[in-house]
Chains A and B, each alone.
Chain A
Amino acid sequence: MENLINDFSFGLFFWQTLLFGVLLILLRKYAWKPILSAINDREQGIEDALEAAENARKEMLNLKSANEEILKEARAEREVLLKDARDIRNKMISDAKEVAQEQAQKMISQAKESITNEKLAAITELKNQVAELSIDIAKKVIQQELSSEDKHLALIEKMLKDVSLK
């Protein structure tokens, strides 16, 4: 301790304090302040960048899920549309069938009606012809009756044969 006190140099202490003080002030202004603030800025920048990246990732995820949602909706819509189309087609086909059937029914019934009408007309005409024929035959029979009985009968026979219902 005695040695230490003897070795203590006030001059060196003075200069050390002075130089160190100057060094402190100079380094604070020209070194530590800019260095620490640069490091701080850089760290802040990295933090911000990381945060931005995280946000972008989240946004992307959101976008992706939104896209999927849209896709899903679209798919569902397509499904619905297809189903509707199928229904409409089926309905149209069945409608058409019905209409066609109705038409056909109608035509058939018309045809039937006209056939009946024709038939009636034909029958009437036939009746008329038969009546005329009968009258003709009767006329001829009556004309021939007078000449011979036999011939008479034969004639009727023959006549009837010709008239066999057409």
Chain B
Amino acid sequence: MQKNIINSILLVSFLILGLHGFSQHQENLTKPEDQEAEKDLKNEIKNDIKHHVKDAYSFVFFSNSKTGESYGFSLPVILIDNGLHVFLSSKFNNGNKLVHIGDTYYKLSHSKIYKTDAKGTITLNAHGHPTNDKPIDLSITKNVLSIALVSLILFLIFSGLAKSYAKNGLIPKGIGRFFEPIVLYIRDEIAIPNIGEKHYKKYMNYLLTIFFFIWFSNLIGITPFGINITGNIAVTFALALLTFIITQFSGNKNYWKHIFWMPGVPVPMKIILAPIELLGVLIKPFALMIRLFANISAGHIVIYSLLGLIFIFKSYLGSSLSFGLALVISVLELLVAILQAYIFTMLSALYFGFATEEHAEAH
């Protein structure tokens, strides 16, 4: 699947490059103002994509770049910096205004809030990242709101399913008919084979929750509201961290022995293997984090790029081609949405299985 996505990205970049040359060729013939406009459009799309993949302090459904108007609603900003400061993000006026609280100024720059001086200067380091101090920022951002929304949807669906059992004599009703087989699948095909009959029960809560949470977050990311929950490193980090913590806490003697003093190999090998195994313990959840983040981000960027191409081409052939491609990739993303949720759940179950494995076999 990752290969597929890489292929898609390659294909898209090839298309962009190829058609770019073509359009440049045309540009020479067009007037300078048109070139300027085209460049602006490209930059705008590029910024839109960058902006979309990141979190935001307001929920914008669509915006008009010419008039500078955006349609959506502001979300509360919560800063902890010498006390608790709560205000609406509209105070920043999309980063054009500084917010002055006490004797500190806050500036919104590239979806982040920084402390600045009265003029709002942002100093950049060699990598082009701001070096200004950041306040502790617990704002209810677009992603936080979306996470809450996903959680609410999950709760409503599955508590409804749970109730329908009581009402309907152990037979699910309505939407539960669709979700029950998935619950069963997670139990029978993910939890039991990987963790084993004996221990799987205590992990079911986590596995089910994480599967449906990732799946629904991925799905809500494909909606046209521009939400990108699982394509955010902080979210995938939190999820991977939970898997990591649960794995370490359920690790039995056998698990730790396999890490620090691998049985069945000579002593020098044991010494060499210990740091490698210890590194593996960290790499496993790290890979979980990066895999989910990269897959979903890549999907979003590809779809956005293809949609942007529609406006760059401005021709029936090119635009309809990129529209078709965007449609195909969107359908692919539907698949990726459940696949990534499956992979995350599956690997989490596998790690729990390693941690609780009992038989001490010689490797």
Name the residue on A nearest B143 (C-beta). Answer: A12
Residues in chain A near residue B183, CB distance under 8 A: 35-36, 39
Residues in chain A near residue B239, CB distance under 8 A: 16, 20
Interface residues of chain A: helix, strand, loop or mixed (majority): helix
B215 at the interface (CB under 8 A from A): no
Residues in chain B near residue A23, CB distance under 8 A: 151, 154-155, 209, 213
B354 at the interface (CB under 8 A from A): no
Residues in chain A near residue B138, CB distance under 8 A: 11, 14-15
Which residues of B in the span 230-246 have a Cβ within 8 Å of any Cβ on A? Answer: 232-235, 237-239, 241-242
Partner of B155, one of A6, A17, A30, A36: A30
A6, A8, A16 — which one has the most chain B CB atoms within 10 A of its CB?
A: A16
Q: Distance in Å from the Cβ of A47 to the closest Cβ of chain B?
A: 13
Name the residue on A nearest B205 (C-beta). Answer: A28
Q: Distance in Å from the Cβ of B52 to the closest Cβ of chain A?
A: 13
Residues in chain A near residue B171, CB distance under 8 A: 42
Inter-chain contact B205/A32, CB cutoff 8 Å: yes
- How many chain A residues touch B (Cβ–Cβ < 8 Å)? 35
Inter-chain contact A16/B151, CB cutoff 8 Å: no
Name the residue on B nearest A14 (C-beta). Answer: B138
How far apart sit A10 and B138, CA to CA, in the bound complex (Å)? Answer: 8
B55 at the interface (CB under 8 A from A): yes
Q: Give me the 10 closest cross-chain CB pairs, A-B, nearest first.
A: A31-B158, A38-B165, A34-B162, A12-B234, A16-B238, A13-B234, A30-B159, A15-B144, A42-B170, A11-B137
Enumerate chain A interface residues (CB-CB to B < 8 A): 2-4, 6-17, 19-20, 22-24, 26-28, 30-36, 38-39, 41-42, 45
Q: What are 19 of the A-B contact pairs (CB < 8 Å)?
A: A9-B137, A11-B136, A11-B141, A12-B141, A13-B238, A15-B138, A16-B144, A16-B234, A17-B238, A20-B147, A20-B213, A26-B155, A30-B162, A31-B155, A31-B161, A35-B161, A39-B180, A41-B170, A45-B170
